Protein backbone atom coordinates (compact mmCIF):
# COMPACT_ATOMS: atom_id res chain seq x y z
CA UNK A 1 0.00 0.00 0.00
CA UNK A 2 2.91 2.34 0.59
CA UNK A 3 3.79 1.99 -3.09
CA UNK A 4 0.23 2.94 -4.04
CA UNK A 5 0.46 5.96 -1.75
CA UNK A 6 3.70 7.12 -3.36
CA UNK A 7 2.33 6.40 -6.84
CA UNK A 8 -0.72 8.50 -5.96
CA UNK A 9 1.46 11.50 -5.28
CA UNK A 10 3.53 10.99 -8.44
CA UNK A 11 0.46 10.58 -10.66
CA UNK A 12 -0.89 13.86 -9.28
CA UNK A 13 2.44 15.64 -9.66
CA UNK A 14 2.85 14.57 -13.28
CA UNK A 15 -0.78 15.29 -14.19
CA UNK A 16 -0.67 18.72 -12.59
CA UNK A 17 2.58 19.54 -14.36
CA UNK A 18 0.98 18.55 -17.67
CA UNK A 19 -2.11 20.62 -16.86
CA UNK A 20 0.15 23.58 -16.09
CA UNK A 21 1.63 23.28 -19.58
CA UNK A 22 -1.87 23.20 -21.08
CA UNK A 23 -2.89 26.29 -19.15
CA UNK A 24 0.11 28.23 -20.43
CA UNK A 25 -0.11 26.94 -24.01
CA UNK A 26 -3.32 27.33 -26.02
CA UNK A 27 -1.58 25.36 -28.79
CA UNK A 28 -1.34 22.31 -26.53
CA UNK A 29 -5.02 22.69 -25.61
CA UNK A 30 -6.00 22.84 -29.27
CA UNK A 31 -3.97 19.70 -30.03
CA UNK A 32 -5.16 17.64 -27.09
CA UNK A 33 -8.80 18.64 -26.53
CA UNK A 34 -9.63 19.96 -30.01
CA UNK A 35 -12.21 22.49 -28.82
CA UNK A 36 -14.77 23.75 -31.34
CA UNK A 37 -13.82 27.35 -30.57
CA UNK A 38 -10.85 28.66 -28.68
CA UNK A 39 -10.21 32.35 -28.87
CA UNK A 40 -6.97 33.25 -27.19
CA UNK A 41 -8.00 36.74 -26.23
CA UNK A 42 -6.02 38.71 -23.66
CA UNK A 43 -8.68 37.97 -21.01
CA UNK A 44 -8.56 34.24 -21.82
CA UNK A 45 -4.76 34.28 -21.52
CA UNK A 46 -4.98 36.22 -18.25
CA UNK A 47 -7.44 33.75 -16.73
CA UNK A 48 -5.57 30.68 -17.99
CA UNK A 49 -2.31 32.06 -16.60
CA UNK A 50 -3.93 32.59 -13.21
CA UNK A 51 -5.17 28.99 -13.34
CA UNK A 52 -1.72 27.88 -14.50
CA UNK A 53 -0.08 29.56 -11.52
CA UNK A 54 -2.50 27.78 -9.17
CA UNK A 55 -1.93 24.46 -10.93
CA UNK A 56 1.83 24.87 -10.65
CA UNK A 57 1.34 25.62 -6.96
CA UNK A 58 -0.70 22.42 -6.54
CA UNK A 59 2.03 20.47 -8.36
CA UNK A 60 4.55 21.73 -5.82
CA UNK A 61 2.14 21.08 -2.95
CA UNK A 62 1.81 17.42 -3.98
CA UNK A 63 5.60 17.16 -4.29
CA UNK A 64 5.98 18.63 -0.80
CA UNK A 65 3.36 16.22 0.56
CA UNK A 66 5.12 13.26 -1.09
CA UNK A 67 8.19 13.97 1.02
CA UNK A 68 6.20 12.93 4.11
CA UNK A 69 3.50 10.85 2.44
CA UNK A 70 1.79 9.42 5.50
CA UNK A 71 1.83 12.57 7.59
CA UNK A 72 0.59 14.75 4.71
CA UNK A 73 -2.01 12.37 3.27
CA UNK A 74 -4.74 14.95 3.88
CA UNK A 75 -3.43 16.70 0.75
CA UNK A 76 -4.74 13.74 -1.26
CA UNK A 77 -8.20 14.25 0.17
CA UNK A 78 -8.07 17.99 -0.54
CA UNK A 79 -7.01 17.16 -4.08
CA UNK A 80 -10.12 15.05 -4.59
CA UNK A 81 -12.52 17.34 -2.71
CA UNK A 82 -12.96 19.98 -4.07
CA UNK A 83 -10.29 20.10 -6.82
CA UNK A 84 -10.82 16.91 -8.88
CA UNK A 85 -14.55 16.93 -8.18
CA UNK A 86 -14.89 20.44 -9.61
CA UNK A 87 -12.65 19.55 -12.56
CA UNK A 88 -14.93 16.59 -13.33
CA UNK A 89 -18.01 18.82 -13.16
CA UNK A 90 -16.32 21.33 -15.47
CA UNK A 91 -15.52 18.51 -17.92
CA UNK A 92 -19.14 17.37 -17.93
CA UNK A 93 -20.35 20.93 -18.48
CA UNK A 94 -18.01 21.51 -21.43
CA UNK A 95 -19.17 18.24 -22.98
CA UNK A 96 -22.81 19.32 -22.54
CA UNK A 97 -21.99 22.63 -24.25
CA UNK A 98 -20.72 20.73 -27.32
CA UNK A 99 -17.55 22.83 -27.30
CA UNK A 100 -15.42 19.74 -26.74
CA UNK A 101 -16.56 16.37 -28.03
CA UNK A 102 -17.09 13.64 -25.47
CA UNK A 103 -14.53 11.38 -27.17
CA UNK A 104 -11.90 14.06 -26.58
CA UNK A 105 -12.84 14.27 -22.88
CA UNK A 106 -13.16 10.55 -22.12
CA UNK A 107 -9.44 10.19 -21.25
CA UNK A 108 -9.78 13.07 -18.79
CA UNK A 109 -12.92 11.61 -17.19
CA UNK A 110 -11.28 8.18 -16.92
CA UNK A 111 -8.25 9.81 -15.35
CA UNK A 112 -10.48 11.36 -12.67
CA UNK A 113 -11.85 7.88 -11.90
CA UNK A 114 -8.28 6.59 -11.62
CA UNK A 115 -7.41 9.39 -9.20
CA UNK A 116 -10.37 8.58 -6.97
CA UNK A 117 -9.55 4.86 -7.07
CA UNK A 118 -5.92 5.55 -6.11
CA UNK A 119 -6.28 8.42 -3.67
CA UNK A 120 -9.09 7.12 -1.46
CA UNK A 121 -7.44 3.78 -0.54
CA UNK A 122 -4.08 5.53 -0.20
CA UNK A 123 -5.57 8.11 2.14
CA UNK A 124 -7.34 5.46 4.24
CA UNK A 125 -4.17 3.37 4.51
CA UNK A 126 -2.07 6.40 5.47
CA UNK A 127 -4.57 7.38 8.17
CA UNK A 128 -4.45 3.86 9.60
CA UNK A 129 -0.65 4.11 9.77
CA UNK A 130 -0.97 7.22 11.92
CA UNK A 131 -2.99 5.45 14.61
Overall domain count for the chain: 1
Instruction: Give pLDDT tens digits for 86-127.
Output: 999 999 999 999 999 999 999 999 999 999 999 999 999 999
The span from the CA of 116 to the CA of 84, in Å, is 9
Asked whether 70 and 126 are in contact (CB, 8 A), the reply is: yes
Domain that holds residue 76: 2-130
Cis amide bond preceding 82, omega within 30: yes
| Res. 67 pLDDT band, cuts 50 70 90 | very high
The single-letter DSSP state of residue 38 is -
pTM: 0.93
Q: Can you give the pLDDT at residue 66?
A: 98
The span from the CA of 36 to the CA of 122, in Å, is 38
Amino acid sequence: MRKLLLASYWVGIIADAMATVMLYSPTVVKLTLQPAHLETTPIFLYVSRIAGALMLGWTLLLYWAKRRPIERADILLFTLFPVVTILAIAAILVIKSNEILIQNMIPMLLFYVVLFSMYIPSYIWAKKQQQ
